Amino acid sequence: MKRNTRVSTAVIRRLPRYYRQLSELQRKGVIRISSSALGKSMGLTASQIRQDLFCFGGFGQQGYGYKVDSLKEQIGEILGINRGHTIVVLGAGNLGRALIENFKFSNNGFQLLAAFDVQERTVGTQIAGVPVYHADTLEEFLKENPVSVGLLTVPKSAAQTMGERLVAAGVHGIWNFTNCEIAFPGEDVVVESVHFSDSLLALNYMISQREDGQEQEDGKDKT
Amino acid sequence: MKRNTRVSTAVIRRLPRYYRQLSELQRKGVIRISSSALGKSMGLTASQIRQDLFCFGGFGQQGYGYKVDSLKEQIGEILGINRGHTIVVLGAGNLGRALIENFKFSNNGFQLLAAFDVQERTVGTQIAGVPVYHADTLEEFLKENPVSVGLLTVPKSAAQTMGERLVAAGVHGIWNFTNCEIAFPGEDVVVESVHFSDSLLALNYMISQREDGQEQEDGKDKT
């Protein structure tokens, strides 16, 4: 596949949304979709959609729109869905457990191999069929099992240390849910953080703006 | 405060990151920071920082940089930190429980009032001091308590319905963790979704790119 290798972060961030939207359309039995209809369903313009997808070598046929299943498949390939990536969860507390039980790792191209924790009551058990091992055995496990990504749901205080242990053992991707910044200067590792607070603060901003608009409206009514 | 009311989504999305970074700097005892140092710590250029903050009416003094505490306070005000917003959690399963126990709602300007669930073993208990009520009593509660945001951690199948109940009862903000799209056409409500899969797919893309780069490097070594 012809690809433009210089792809902006914004486009990369939109690709998963395309993938999600196309999966939804596929589920609904939609066969073909125009760029304007796809755009509308995602809050983007048709020209933005065409530009985004052009970055990855085209697709789509002038006047015919996109075939939902093949576009989904192509975007999935770009995203690395079929590369056989593997993941382990570090920290099997409430959040780790919620992700293990409910998150569809396989839909996102990952096989979930194991979880690690230090709690006696958890170690040695299984969560939704996933074995929980003691964190002390992490390096041993990583030596025998190629792991692409470590998912961090450990307490903040352990975040950096556990991340460093993953990196030292040759893991090149970290999915960070600890709500704190972790960094590995000079290391060849990709860190993707899910910052709940960034999301809630953005929502706070938006509802505050709405309230201000409301006040202005109310003010108008009075004059 | 003078504000440019047309602020792009990208800037809004960066504001929480500024707030988080400034909180971290404050914690470390940093008093003053230049736009270039602030930018470096966030992977942004100094000029981008100056542009972003200019959208909100300036701050900063030429040649002196920004005072950490007052910039943090001003951004906090823009974000709506001190507006006394309130939040309730719908769904006290693993994810809901993890958020109630570990997420600092108050640091993000929200008072967490209550949680709602349908499980007999959970209803009537408290989680980290937060009462869990039966979901049937939601409307009654909302009538007596002004609630700004409903946090959805219910199963996918209940997401849209619970959202509609919140909206019908006058809640104008929804923080959606159900990993499915919910929509309320024609309603005056802001929905902010945390899509775990978008984040993991982006990570998948980045590690796949890294692998391809690696292969190219390996190829070079061989020639």
CATH (domain of B40): 1.10.10.10
Is A192 within 8 Å of B202 when comparing Cβ atoms? yes
Residue B219 lies in a domain: no
Q: Are residues A92 and A183 in the same domain?
A: yes
Q: Are residues A94 and A141 in the same domain?
A: yes
Chain A CB contacts of B172 below 8 Å: 207, 210
Q: Which residues contact B182 (CB under 8 A, 6 or more apart)?
A: B152, B159, B160, B163, B174, B176, B191, B193
ipTM of the complex: 0.90
Is B95 within 8 Å of A93 when comparing Cβ atoms? no
Residue B211 lies in a domain: no
Residue A214 lies in a domain: no
Domain span at B35 = 9-78
Residue A207 lies in a domain: no
Q: What is the mean pLDDT of chain A?
A: 89
Q: Report how far residue B164's alpha carbon sits from residue B86's, in angstroms, rounded to the nearest whole number.
A: 18
Domains in chain B: how many in total? 2
pLDDT at residue B115 above 60? yes
Residue of A94, A109, A149 lying closest to B98 (CB–CB) = A94
Q: Are residues B60 and B133 in the same domain?
A: no
pLDDT at B220: 61
Residue of A17, A190, A197 lying closest to B206 (CB–CB) = A190
Q: Are residues B53 and B108 in the same domain?
A: no
Q: Give the domain-ending residue among B36, B53, B78.
A: B78
Q: Are residues A13 and A111 in the same domain?
A: no
pLDDT at A223: 43
Query: Which two structure tokens, joined as six digits, stand for B181?
Result: 């799209």
CATH code for the domain in which residue B141 is found: 3.40.50.720
Q: Give the domain-ending residue among A77, A99, A133.
A: A77
How many other CB atoms are there within 10 angstroms of residue B71's CB atom? 22
Q: Are residues B65 and B16 in the same domain?
A: yes
Note whether B141 and B156 are within 8 A (CB).
no
Q: Report how far residue B29's alpha carbon sits from residue A77's, in angstroms, rounded to the nearest whole number.
A: 46
Per-residue pLDDT reduced to its tens digit, A30-68:
999 988 888 888 888 888 888 888 777 666 666 678 889
Residue A221 lies in a domain: no
pLDDT at A62: 63
Residue B97 lies in a domain: yes
Q: Which residues contact B78 (CB under 8 A, 6 or more apart)?
A: A205, B1, B3, B15, B56
Per-residue pLDDT reduced to its tens digit, A124-164:
999 999 999 999 999 999 999 999 999 999 998 999 999 99
Phi, psi of A33 (to 5 degrees): -145, 140
Is A97 within 8 Å of B101 when comparing Cβ atoms? no
